[in-house]
Structure 1
Amino acid sequence: MKPSSRPSTSSPSCPAALPFPLTALRMRLTCVPETPVHLEGLKAGTLLRGALLSVMLRTTCPLTGVPYERRKEVDPEHVATCPVCWLIQANEQPGNERRGYLITPPLPPADTYLPGQPFSFHITLLGKATTYIPYFIISSHEMGRTGVGKGRGRFTLHHIHAELSPPGTTSRPEEWEMRAPDDLTVRMPPTYLTHQHILSAAEALLPRMRRPRLTLHFLTPLRLVHENHLVKTPEFLPFFTRLLERVDMLASRHADAPPRPPGERTRLHDLAARVRLHHHTTRWEDVKTWSSRTRRHTWISGLVGSATYTAPPEVWEALLPWLLWGTVVQVGKDAVKGNGVFLVSLS
């Protein structure tokens, strides 16, 4: 597979002077199973991520047998340039991921995909993580060859598209074909998803709001902790607080963004406090996965379903761009594994 020349993380349409410099490359990978692929519904993101990193470890990292916490001692120069070490060690606080990549599993979730039944999943790379685009594409191809999930189901990576609009904001999303079927050449998009794309999507959505209501559809488990307790009712303020923290931390770590001014953070927090939960149909889904690295089960349970909120129009006008960023980067614990996927719809 021959990746073409790749753009820098500051593309012409996203100069460094923008007030919010985070960029995202959201790749949709369409796959065709050769044997039954068992992704086990809500466990799909974890299984895909585990298989992807396993391929990367096996094919690109000579320190595979060295514990992650000791790799800097063994070979600091290697750790500074190895994509796998960078991706894993970008998270220094387990369970509080700020890695520069994330997986969005196939939606709606399905347990099994039969031979010839296509499915798609997304890999999103943020800011500096776009440096490692070729590794992700090559490893995804190899993952299909070696298999994923129970029984190691194999698939062919059919094609790859870059999506240039926030998920769910338009019936015909802007996209760029990065890899066509039966073509080994990867064509990089002319731009990544930028804050300007987010603002444009928000401006297009707001006129469609007939009533001051907004609905969030939680498609994979939303796992939030607020005041040291798991959140089991989708109140808006804890959700938005975690969302803004995640977006800001990702921008700081992967796009060298300066801290959000305290006054701006307080303004957004006060606006979010004005949002009221109108009604919801969420439920708590218990999900646990097995880690071959730690040799133990991990709970990735959370809320799924829909919640409708009410607020004055000026509140939604200010908060909607950050909600749309949340649809790109996902929210809550285990987002890197596919948790916290949600979409926005206007009532």
Structure 2
Amino acid sequence: MLDQFQLAVYRFTLRPREEMILPVYKGAVLRGGFGYVFKRTVCFQPQTTSCRGCILRYDCPYPALFEPSPPPDAEVLRKNQNIPLAFVIEPPLDRRTRYGPEETLGFRLVLIGQAIARLAYFVVAFQQLGEAGIGPRRAKYTLERVEALQPWSGEAVSLYEDGALVRGAGELIVDYGMVAERTAALEADGIDAITVNFLTPTRLKHLGHYVTRPDFHILVRALLRRISSLSYFYCGERWEADYWGIIEAAKGVRLAQAWTGWVDWERYSRRQRQRMKLGGLVGQAIYEGELGPFLPLLALGELVHVGKACVFGHGKYEIAP
């Protein structure tokens, strides 16, 4: 079960060289700036708006990270032109909008499976983005530090300092076995209630509509879709799970209480040349029932996020017994 699933968590620290003004929710600025610089760096046809039809699309790192599509021999989702991206940018959760040269801005980057080997592209792109500038005033910054993180203990290993990579990307890799081990104690105690705190806009879709009430089976469906796709396309493993059996069991878990609401959020997509509405639910939900079998799935979802637009940091949640 997900024996080959791997991910890595990194912390990037930026130091402004001048006053930096950013929106409250910084995920789109970081992701958009990275994508623009990254494409400008590696693309042989930067004037195009889509990688579809390019003869290099299966060899170039840009579509692999930003416009992935199922390979011709894919056994699943062959008709789906869009599959989940293999990275998540986690912006800081505070509401600060101004940073000065005496301060730092930190964010986390989650890379999944094959994307771990592409860490250097992220480092170089965020270096160059610092020279181009970020935010409405194009404030310049210096990429001060990149660290690999152990997501639960907080252990950190420095990978980039003083303008150079000092270690490779393969530090503090997290696999599914480690996730399951983390939740084994809770499962052994027969936990029958859990709290999920939805920290960033979470876009859970059910029967064609985005929901504001996060029933447990809807959350589980979204986790199954996301994690199974990430496993197949980036970790080389098709997750042979009893999906319908898992969903039926999830229907037996009750949403006991919910304090959730919808937060509107939109961004301008330079690539699609239009504004996109990407709101989602935030708040807290308490679930009651036979939760033990779902704990590893929920714990993995804490790291890879859930729902749509995860690349911007959407769908971040934390669980607590």
Please, what TM-score do these two structures have when normalized by structure 1?
A: 0.83
| 2:209 counterpart residue number | 229
Conserved 8 A contact 2:86-2:230: yes
| Count of residues in correspondence between the two structures | 311
Tell me, in whole angstroms, the C-alpha distance in 1 between the residues paired with 2:312 and 2:83.
Answer: 10
1:229 to partner: Cα distance: 1.1
AA aligned to 1:333 is: K
**Partner in structure 2 of residue 41 of structure 1:** 24
* Residue 284 (str. 1) matches residue 262 (str. 2): yes
Task: State how far apart, in whole Å, the 2-side matches of 1:47 and 1:287 are.
Answer: 13
Q: Which amino acid aligns with 2:271?
A: R
Q: Secondary structure at the match of 2:128?
A: helix
Higher-helix-fraction structure? 1
RMSD: 2.2
Q: Which amino acid aligns with 2:156?
A: E
Counterpart code for 2:240 = R
Q: Percent identity?
A: 27
Q: Give per-residue Cα distances to partners, 1:266-295, cap 9 Å, x unaligned.
A: 332222112111222221111111112222
Which region of structure 1 is more displaced relative to structure 2, 197-206 or 59-68?
197-206
Q: How does 1:1-347 map to 2 (within 5 A)?
A: 19-42=2-25, 44-72=26-54, 76=55, 78-91=56-69, 97-165=83-151, 170=152, 172-180=153-161, 182=162, 184-188=164-168, 189-206=170-187, 212-261=192-241, 264-311=242-289, 315-346=290-321
What's the CA shift string for 1:301-343, capped at 9, x where partnerless? Answer: 01111111112xxx32211111111111111111112211111
SS at match of 1:68: coil
Question: How many Å separate the matches in 2 of 1:341 and 1:34?
Answer: 30
Native 8 Å contact 2:51 2:57 kept in 1: no
Task: Output the CA distance in 2 between the equivalents of 1:19 and 1:219.
Answer: 26
Instruction: Give the partner amino acid of 2:251.
Output: A
Distance 1:255 1:280, change over 3 A: same
Q: Which residue identity does 1:130 align to in structure 2?
A: I
TM-score by length of 2: 0.89
CA 1:34–1:70: 2 relative to 1, 3 Å = same
SS at match of 1:132: helix
- In the alignment, structure 2 segments of 5+ residues that lack a partner are 71-79
Q: CA deviation at 1:85?
A: 2.5
| 3-state SS of paired residue (1:305) | strand
Alignment partners' CA distance in 2, 1:82 and 1:186? 25
Relative to structure 1, is the Cα distance of residues 253 and 332 closer, same or farther in structure 2, using a 3 angstrom cutoff?
same
